[in-house]
Structure 1
Amino acid sequence: MLKLNRETSRILWTELQRFYAQGAVLVVAPELDLIATAAAVANDDAAAVSTWMKDNLLQKATEKLAMTWLAENCEVWAVVVAPWVLVQQDRRPA
């Protein structure tokens, strides 16, 4: 998990558009820890991942969300777990 933590950074949503267009962006709900979720994905923890997806805590980025983040010039936390880019909205005040 330390490696994933080091590879996590804030990035503008506009810089992730190519990955969104490829269907490779997974959105992590604020209730989940981004690094722990990325670790579960990296370790193929199918039970956890499928539960989160069923509960909509982890899901592919929707067009509505992508358009909103684009319009707001939103910054997100992101980490790559190939072939996915996991993102979580940065809720800290600007």
Structure 2
Amino acid sequence: MNTKPENDTELRAKINLETARLPWSELERHFAQGNVVFVSADLDLVDVAVRISHDDKDSIARWMGDGKVGKVSDAQAQAWTETAAVLWTSVVHPFILVQPEKAVLH
């Protein structure tokens, strides 16, 4: 896609500002509608959101093939419900991208 770098910078900043931590309980209804997408902690949530915004099919297909991006599974949803998980979220209409908090190494 022919996107000017400054536009990408603005989009990245906008997405970054709109990224928030939310409890899974607030996302369950969106999950029921099939609109919640898991993003592996190996990836940068904002970068994934930018690439989805640009419809970067190659990156998305590669991540999906590697199991790093995909629809939230019933097992993930159940685990997050049981642990009252809080997830990083980013909205890329019509999807809500979610990512578990990265483990902090001491």
State the TM-score, normalized to the length of structure 2. 0.85
Residue number in structure 1 paired with 2:18: 7
For the pair shown, which has the larger CA radius of gyration, 1 or 2? 2
d(CA) in 1 for partners of 2:19, 2:96: 10
Mind listing any 5+ residue stretches in structure 2 that lack a counterpart? 1-11
d(CA) in 1 for partners of 2:102, 2:65: 24
What is the aligned-residue identity percentage? 35
> Structure 1 residue 37 and structure 2 residue 48: aligned?
yes
> Structure 1 residue 60 and structure 2 residue 71: aligned?
yes
3-state DSSP of counterpart to 1:73: coil
Matched positions, count: 93
Residue number in structure 1 paired with 2:4: none
Displaced runs of 4 or more, over 3 A: none
Mind listing any 5+ residue stretches in structure 1 that lack a counterpart? none
CA RMSD of aligned residues (A): 0.9
State the TM-score, normalized to the length of structure 1. 0.96
Post-superposition Cα deviations, 1:42-74, rounded to whole Å, max 9, x if no partner, equal 110000001100110001000000000000000
Corresponding letter in the other structure for 1:7: E
3-state DSSP of counterpart to 1:23: coil
Corresponding letter in the other structure for 1:48: S
3-state DSSP of counterpart to 1:79: strand
3-state DSSP of counterpart to 1:91: coil
d(CA) in 2 for partners of 1:92, 1:18: 27
One of 71, 74, 90 as aligned partner of 2:85: 74
